[in-house]
């Protein structure tokens, strides 16, 4: 499927699952030497493929009918700093943003988060939305992981494709909810750093559907 058609599908899911609302949040996908991003301030229910904006990763020139999302620098910085990154989704989902407001990283205490993100979700230093500094701070706090919180703002999720970036946003939001619930029950139980690394490695190299081997 064309990556722009896939973007529309993912936008629909993000709205249905209330990970994005109104015109807030933005998504992009890398294709060759450019990326496609949602336009600025357009309601998600109205966006069509012709409304998506193309941005060149070298020149940072935008091409399209509308102005790109004001967070285009954040998306560009993710692609420029991470060759493995092929899709970026930025949401203001409620529980993830609650951690971002509290300045509290989401701990690596749930296995699916560890596998898909690579460890705890750090909080990037505060900067104004749409600024170069926000993009710089986000990439710095992101490191080699697939998600980062923007202080007092929201979440950025990355993936090797759009589906993975969507799952990152879903799993981070779910984990944030779990941590809040678990804390009401008592202290969190930690996972050994060596196990965290092993789970991440397994996910990156071996996870996925596999046909059963035929018995001989």
Q: What is the largest CA-CA distance in the chain?
A: 62
Closest distance to Zn ion from the beta carbon of 34 (Å): 22
CA pair distance 67, 75, nearest whole angstrom:
15
71 belongs to the catalytic site? yes
Which of residues 119 and 154 has its CB atom nearest to Zn ion in the complex?
Answer: 154
**Subset of 8-37 contacting Zn ion (CB under 5 A):** none
Is residue 117 within 8 Å of 147, Cβ to Cβ?
A: yes
Segment near Zn ion (CB under 5 A); pick from 61-69, 153-161, 182-190, 194-202? 153-161
Q: Can you read off the two tokens belonging to residue 112?
A: 């699916």
What is the size of the binding site for Zn ion (CB under 5 A)?
A: 1
Helix (H, G, I), strand (E, B) or coil at 29: strand
Closest distance to Zn ion from the beta carbon of 115 (Å): 26
**Active-site choice (61, 71, 111, 164):** 71
Which of residues 131 and 182 has its CB atom nearest to Zn ion in the complex?
Answer: 131
**Partners of 30 in the β-ladder:** 35
CA pair distance 66, 34, nearest whole angstrom:
16
CA pair distance 87, 212, nearest whole angstrom:
31
Which of residues 112 and 152 has its CB atom nearest to Zn ion in the complex?
Answer: 152
Residue nearest Zn ion (C-beta atom): 154
Q: Which residues bind Zn ion (CB under 5 A)?
A: 154
Active-site annotation, residues? 71
């Amino acid at each position: 499927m064309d990556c722009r058609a896939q973007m529309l599908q993912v936008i629909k899911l993000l709205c249905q699952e209330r990970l994005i609302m109104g015109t807030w949040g933005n998504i992009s996908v890398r294709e060759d030497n450019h990326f496609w991003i949602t336009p600025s301030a357009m309601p998600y229910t109205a966006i069509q493929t012709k409304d998506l904006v193309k941005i060149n990763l070298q020149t940072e020139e935008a091409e399209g009918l509308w102005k790109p999302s004001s967070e285009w620098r954040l998306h560009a910085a993710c692609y420029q700093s991470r060759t493995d990154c092929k899709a970026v989704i930025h949401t203001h989902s409620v529980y993830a943003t609650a951690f971002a407001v509290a300045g509290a990283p989401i701990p690596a205490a749930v296995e699916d988060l560890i596998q898909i993100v690579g460890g705890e979700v750090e909080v990037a230093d505060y900067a104004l939305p749409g600024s170069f500094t926000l993009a710089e701070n986000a990439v710095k706090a992101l490191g080699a992981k697939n998600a980062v919180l923007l202080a007092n703002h929201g979440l950025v999720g990355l993936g090797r494709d759009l589906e993975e970036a969507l799952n990152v946003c879903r799993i981070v939001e779910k984990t944030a909810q779990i941590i809040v619930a678990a804390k009401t029950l008592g202290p969190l139980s930690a996972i050994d750093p060596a196990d965290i690394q092993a789970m991440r490695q397994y996910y990156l190299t071996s996870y996925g559907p596999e046909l059963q081997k035929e018995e001989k």
